[in-house]
Amino acid sequence: MQKKRINEYIWEIPPDQKPGMKVPARIVASEKLISGMDEGVYNQITNVACLPGIRQYAWCMPDGHWGYGFPIGGVAAFDMDEGVISPGGIGFDINCGVRLIRTSLAEDEVRPKLKELVDTLFRNIPAGVGKSGSVSLSRREFDNVITQGAGWCQKNGYAWEEDLNRIEQRGQIPGADSSAVSDKAVNRGVDQIGTLGSGNHYLEVQSVRFDEGCDAETSRLLGIEEPGQVTIMIHCGSRGFGHQIGTDYLQSFGSAMKRYGITTNDRELACAPISSPEGKQYFGAMACAANAAFANRQVITHHVRQSFEKVFGKPADRLGMNLVYDVAHNIAKIETYDIEGRPTKLLVHRKGATRAYGPGNPALSGIFHQLGQPVLVGGSMQAGSYLMVGTRMAEELTFGSTCHGAGRAMSRAAAKKRVRGSDLLHQMENEGIIVRTASFSGLAEEAGFAYKNVSDVVEAVHNLGISRKVARFHPMANIKG
């Protein structure tokens, strides 16, 4: 497939490269990243460019890699009247996302107690296949969780009052419709609130670094003040509840497409008009899953705070354990952008991509209105992660979107052939990173070498200007599902 270079960090595949493309596809990447981008990304992002009602460009972020339907890293915006909603553009793990918690503790205060801390966290936060959470919910109460999200957590003692101000959309997506959710989804999810899950999900204890190009002043205003300050990052989503909603609607959209005369290049791109009853139903169910994910990360935060209290013998507020921010990176949202000079409502799908609103965006309040929205980029468990902020450039160029992580460079099976989980655990301990895992083979699949270099990804979005580098976090300990 032919691509042309638009500037140093944007590559375009014109619509003449595949029958049915309605808009060009664009990939954000440096020359190094584009040379390593797998062919699947080109095929998948051009399939996305064929979907009805897509506007401007089908984007793929620099951490893009082969997914199903949309590539991971895919961003696409659809007209509210002519466009579609696609579960394959969101992913099965609806509102998979990242949350960052600060502390007032320094690395040298935490190191002597790190093993005790990690064991306490691993005991208190269930991780891995088939684990239940500590929150016992009736069906009725679960309905409240999925319609109120983090708001439910606050009412029930799992959140500080200020936490909600530091979650994308206050941790509660409007339009959640519990009648659009199957009993099966509820049965799968009802006992999983407060669990980490498996795969690439993790809870990491980290130490702050200000590398060249970081913005220590912005960082300070966001509560990340000093090199060596200890933070906690949580990466997980809506668990079985969201997975079942994705499964249910992928199935039912097959017949909906026939009814609406829609064809796609890949059944994983099954979709329905946004304005159709089926489209509205899926949106309502997706919002429920998004709220469940916000609640999940909030309940985990509660257990993180309790674990720190136990190990350090002080209340969490005196340990400065405020939430920095919480972002969703698998979601579709109704947002307004300029199309041909007119403000237009669009449904923006982000699958492995993060919202990156810039300073002055009316959806942001307080310090975020001044600085731009925090963007949390989770790297591999060996390479570390980044705090960035959104920019106006992102709003003008990429539907207010940026990268979400490092992005895989190797399959899980290939990674497992290169290293044994137990060997990797010892290797990481020698690097000063303590690991507790529910699965040694799962650990090997997440080895740092299986991912792209997160710094390359961050440099690409920083240099293009669709987000701005603020601080880096070096891993000290990792809990893996």
Partner 1 sequence: MRSARFRFEIVEDLASADFIFDAYGQTLEDLFKACATACFTAMTEIEPVEPIKEYNLMVDGEDLNELLYNYIAELIYLKDTEKSFFSYFEIHIAEDKKSLSSVVRGEPIDYDKHVIKTDVKAVTYHDLNITERNGEYVTRMVLDL
Residue 331: DSSP 8-state: E
| Token code pair at residue 407 | 């992005």
Q: How far is the CB of 69 from partner 1 (least distance, A)?
A: 7
Binding site for partner 1 (CB under 8 A): 38, 40, 65-69, 72, 91-93, 128-130, 132, 184, 187-188, 192, 197-200, 240, 243-244, 246-247, 250-251, 254-255, 266-268, 270, 408-414, 417, 438-439, 441-442, 445, 481
Q: How far is the CB of 106 from partner 1 (least distance, A)?
A: 35
Rounded-to-integer distance, Cα 203 and Cα 98, Å: 10
| Whether 397 contacts 244, CB under 8 Å | no
Rounded-to-integer distance, Cα 161 and Cα 17, Å: 52
Quickly count: other Cβ atoms within 10 Å of residue 207's Cβ.
22
Q: How far is the CB of 3 from partner 1 (least distance, A)?
A: 18
11-29: burial string, b at 16+ Cβ within 10 Å, e else: bbbbbebbeebebbbbbbb
Q: Helical H runs in 261-365?
A: 277-312
Q: How far is the CB of 455 from partner 1 (least distance, A)?
A: 18
- Which residue, 80 or 410, has its beta carbon nearer to partner 1? 410
- Which residue, 156 or 244, has its beta carbon nearer to partner 1? 244
Rounded-to-integer distance, Cα 68 and Cα 377, Å: 22
| Whether 244 contacts 182, CB under 8 Å | yes
- Which residue, 400 or 442, has its beta carbon nearer to partner 1? 442
Instruction: State in Å, rounded, how far the first CA of the chain is from the last one.
Output: 38
What CA–CA distances, in Å, run from 54 to 337, 339, 346?
13, 12, 9
- Which residue, 67 or 171, has its beta carbon nearer to partner 1? 67
Burial of 457 (0-12, 13-18, 19+ CB in 10 A): buried
H or E segment and range at residue 205: strand 202-209
- Which residue, 149 or 246, has its beta carbon nearer to partner 1? 246
Rounded-to-integer distance, Cα 469 and Cα 465, Å: 10
Question: How many Cα atoms occupy the beta-carbon half-sphere of 477 within 13 Å?
Answer: 21
- Which residue, 75 or 224, has its beta carbon nearer to partner 1? 75
- Which residue, 64 or 151, has its beta carbon nearer to partner 1? 64
Helix, strand, or coil (residue 320): coil
Q: How far is the CB of 182 from partner 1 (least distance, A)?
A: 10
Catalytic residue among 65, 201, 404, 474: 404
Lookup result for tokens 């409502």: 345
Lookup result for tokens 């994308």: 168
Is residue 404 part of the annotated active site? The answer reads yes
| Token code pair at residue 278 | 């089926």
The set of catalytic residues is 404
